[in-house]
Amino acid sequence: MPVQTPTPSDTNQLSWQPGTATLQRLRASGLRLTLARRAVLRALHDNRGRFLDAEAVHRWTKAATWRVNLTSVYRILAELDKARIAQATQLGARTFYSMVPEGEAAQPHFVCRRCGHAQALGSDALLTQLFEGAARLGFHLNQRLTLVGVCSACNASAPGSVKRHQKQTL
């Protein structure tokens, strides 16, 4: 999945603060708001609605003139996922991250394999059925459901691909 380099919304990153719920989750996990964590959080915040891999987050921090090395980005993303501030999604051999909305739990998503656009599934009834079904089978789910496909914008940018698919299935 090619991920475009995101562009920071401004370069005055030092004045940006994450929300109260994010700060509480950081503290509850024993993490401080360091400059490197602030940069990674800002990258995820500015790219809400998209899943980014560590390399895209690293490119974003470099474009914003933050000095965060790639190893630190990987470590911070893993910490944020563990603290339930970010949501990790495995797509193939790569892991992508998205910011969990302030004060909410991680949600299942549809994710575009081409551009990384993410859309929350938003169906409590479906989740309830999944959890009940899993419990009946003796499974404990961690609520990380990701459905991967191609979004309408990417689908529209490849003219004829939908028509070819429809012809093959008819």
CA dihedral sign, ordered 46, 50, 54, 59: negative
Backbone angles phi, psi at 105, to 5 degrees: -95, 160
pLDDT surpassing 50 at residue 87: yes
Query: Is the pLDDT assigned to residue 5 strictly greater than 60?
Result: no
Rounded to whole angstroms, the Cα distance separating 18 from 120 reads 21
Do the strands 109-112 and 118-120 form a parallel or antiparallel pair, or are they unpaired?
A: antiparallel
49 neighbors 117 (Cβ within 8 angstroms): yes
Q: Is the pLDDT of residue 163 over 70?
A: no
pTM: 0.66
Residues 161, 164: Cα–Cα separation, whole Å? 5
Identify the CA nearest to 117 among candidates 98, 94, 104: 98
Query: What does the alpha-carbon distance between residue 146 and residue 109 come to, in Å, rounded to a whole number?
Result: 5
Cα 118–chain centre separation: 8
pLDDT at position 123 is 60
Please give the backbone phi and psi of residue 159, each rounded to the nearest 5 degrees, phi first: -60, 140
Q: What is the pLDDT of residue 147?
A: 78
> Residue range 54-65: average pLDDT?
89
Question: What is the amino acid identity at position 131?
Answer: F
CB 114 within 8 A of CB 129: no
Round to whole Å and give the CA distance between 119 and 116.
10
